[in-house]
Amino acid sequence: MAATFEVEILTPERTVLKADVISIVAPGSEGFLGVLAHHAPLITSLMPGPFTLTYPDEREEVFTISGGFLEVSGNRAIVLADAAERPGEIDIERAKAAEERARNLLKKRPALLDSDRAELALKRAINRIRASEKY
């Protein structure tokens, strides 16, 4: 049996998950990264995207995260995310409305638009829509 480590996914509202896993694949700021048991310590920022866990029974579970940070240390991984949800928890209509709002803002480009924030909102919405359709 593969070695396991503890992963915890936290948002400001709740503890989304605390479990033992054999691997995670996270959407890092420089690309996707994998973590196995006894990984070297690291801290990295996360981008909106799928966060995949593999459990000891080899079952996979995918969460959609809105970005945040991942810390790996002492055979434990902690994700601090603005939002994290299982695909079945996603309100698809709300995600589509958020995508439309972000696209409209980016198209109109009002004078006081924070374009980085609008682009991040668009990425989060697209991530949620894809996750709800794919998983």
134 has pLDDT over 70: no
Q: Mean per-residue pLDDT for 88-106?
A: 81
Decide if pLDDT at 135 tops 70: no
Q: Residue 79: helix, strand or coil by DSSP? A: strand
Would you state the pLDDT for residue 84? 92
pTM summary value: 0.75
Asked whether 64 and 52 are in contact (CB, 8 A), the reply is: no
In 11-125, at which residue ranges do the beta strands (DSSP E only) sit?
A: 15-21, 23-28, 31-36, 42-46, 49-54, 60-65, 68-73, 76-81, 84-85
48 burial via Cβ count (<10 Å: 0-12, 13-18, 19+): buried
The stretches of the chain forming alpha helices (DSSP H) are: 92-108, 115-134
Domains of the chain: 5-85 (2.60.15.10), 91-134 (1.20.5.440)
List, for residues 82-93, the tens digit of each pLDDT value. Answer: 889 887 777 778
Quick: pLDDT tens for 8-65: 999 999 999 999 999 999 999 899 999 999 999 999 999 988 999 999 999 999 999 9
